[in-house]
Amino acid sequence: MVFRKPPDGGWGWVIVVVSFFTQFLCYGSPLAVGVLYVEWLDAFGEGKGKTAWVGSLANGIGLLASPVCSICVSSFGARPVAIFSGFMVAGGLMMSSFAPNIYFLYISYGIVVGLGCGLLYTATVTITCQYFDKRRGLALGLISTGSSVGLFIYAALQRELIDLYGLDGCLLIVGALSLNILACGSLMRPLESSDSPPPEKTCVDKVPDQYFVYHEKEKTVEENISILEKGYIDEKCVNNMPDYKQDSILNKNVLSSINVNEKDTYKKKVVEQTNFCKQLAKRKWQLYLNYWEETVVLFKNKVFSALFVAILLFDIGGFPPSLLMEDVARSANINEDDYHMPLISIIGIMTAVGKLTLGILADFKWVNTLYLYVTTLLMTGVALFAIPFAKSYLTLAMLSGILGFLTGNWSIFPYVTTKTVGIEKLTHAYGILMFFAGLGNSLGPPIVGWFYDWTQEYDTAFYFSGFCVLLGGFLLMLAALPCWNACTNQSSKLPPNTYSYKVASSA
């Protein structure tokens, strides 16, 4: 199917609104899981590293399954996937209210809710990129603020619900709120296809069909010729015989032809089914080969390769503060009476500001979005190094705001990916990158929790986190440097169908 040119408005703004609320409803609780994390520590009495797996799975499993999520959205469309995922998120949250132990939460909250969020994220990003081109940065920034606003509101909401109805009642109410995703998903109308004729199949797609059809036709022609020759000879022999012999021979031929026709029909069906199975198997195998060939071509682009390393290290080091900051404050013996606002809420509101601000900056022609993204990575690493020196609520609140703003670089990450590989390969490339992001999300909080279990303090853990983020930022900056591009272009040419960031951004 060939979609028409993105309208950059019209129903696209409805898509932005419903995508905003979709991310608000699905990511509100998983991103504010730090409030639930403290309650689960007290309820089940498990270690910090073990308990942190619940929140890390909820935020990482959907990204780990991004290739599968991308295939689902490409196959079924954003609307059906969004409606189905709404049931998953709501059902997983409600099931978590009946969790007898931490292992049940791994499945209900970690896997079910996490996979539903991953499907919804892929659906909202994909359909937004289809509706917007010139204003894509603004549109992505607006919808991505939904999760940040959800983090801000759900952090306070879940704490209030826990005080009023307990942990189980809180999860039931939050799950019921998530059912509103169904209404949002129903409004995700797919972009109409253009009136232009569909593109012709490539030579690779045509080869299997031509191969089988050619031999089948050739065989049919030979059979027809032999049948015609046989019929001509039989007719000639019959005409030379007396009438009474002709009648008896014709009667015998009619009876025998019925049996022959039945056998021929059966054989023909067997041959047709066999050919169909062969064509189908060969077609499917060709699709798998094409997928892996496209994946290999993507990784030959050094900027894309550096992106997947950077996003992996960024999520290992940059994600834990949003999950563990409340426990960091409690471990630093900060009095809860000093709290003017939950630290997670500060992260949430500043993440929304960061996403919107960075998304708007990405639309300016004089801004190189790749360099902007690298800058946010390097600043995040420095802020993580400063956390062990924060011993008061004020300093932790300031660092939470800085980290929240810099985490808003998620809004420009799809933009960077699109400029690097092109809109045609966005779904494929973004699914791969989100897989590595999910791996980082899943490993980051447990690693920090294990560091605490071993050392009984968070200082070493955040030094490690800051080092990971800085390393990813430096690698991506090195891959994006113009002098490095010039040296690489002199030694080797880019493979076909890949794009250097410089060429793509100026196109």
- Buried b / exposed e over 78-115, threshold 16 CB at 10 Å, is bbbbbbbbbebbbbbbbbbbebeebeebbebbbbbbbb
pLDDT at position 494 is 41
- CA 417 to chain centroid: 13
Continuous segment of H or E residues that includes residue 190: none
Q: What is the pLDDT of residues 273-320, one digit of tens each?
A: 777 676 766 676 666 666 667 777 777 778 888 888 888 889 888 877
Could you check whether 1-193 and 301-483 share the same CATH topology? yes
Calpha distance 143→440 (Å, rounded): 23
Of the candidate CATH numbers 1.10.3370.10, 1.10.150.120, 1.20.1250.20, 3.40.50.2300, the domain formed by 1-193 belongs to: 1.20.1250.20
Q: Domain spanning 301-483 has what CATH number?
A: 1.20.1250.20
Other Cβ atoms within 10 Å of 332 Cβ, number: 17
The pTM of the whole model exceeds 0.85: no
Calpha distance 4→131 (Å, rounded): 9
Confidence bin at 391 (pLDDT 50/70/90): confident
The two tokens of residue 140 are 């992505």
pLDDT higher than 80, residue 214 = no
Residue 322's SS3 state is helix
Calpha distance 183→411 (Å, rounded): 24
The two tokens of residue 366 are 């004089």
Residue with tokens 């994946």: 295
Q: What is the pLDDT of residues 75-98, one digit of tens each?
A: 888 899 999 999 999 999 999 999
pLDDT higher than 80, residue 430 = no
Calpha distance 214→225 (Å, rounded): 17
pLDDT at position 271 is 66
Lowest-pLDDT choice from 10-19, 269-278, 381-390: 269-278
Q: Are 325 and 155 in contact (CB under 8 A)?
A: no
Residue 32's SS3 state is coil
Residue with tokens 């991953």: 118
Q: What is the pLDDT of residues 494-506, one digit of tens each?
A: 444 443 333 333 3
Q: What is the pLDDT of residues 111-164, one digit of tens each?
A: 999 999 989 988 898 888 888 877 777 787 788 778 878 888 898 899 889 989
pLDDT higher than 70, residue 219 = no
Distance between terminal CA atoms of the chain?
A: 24
CB-based burial label for 263 (10 Å; 0-12, 13-18, 19+): exposed
- Please name the residues in contact with 114: beta carbons below 8 A apart, sequence gap of 6 or more: 30, 57, 58, 59, 60, 61, 62
The two tokens of residue 213 are 């059809």
In total, the chain counts a number of residues equal to 507
Domain boundaries, the chain: 1-193, 301-483
The two tokens of residue 89 are 């998120």
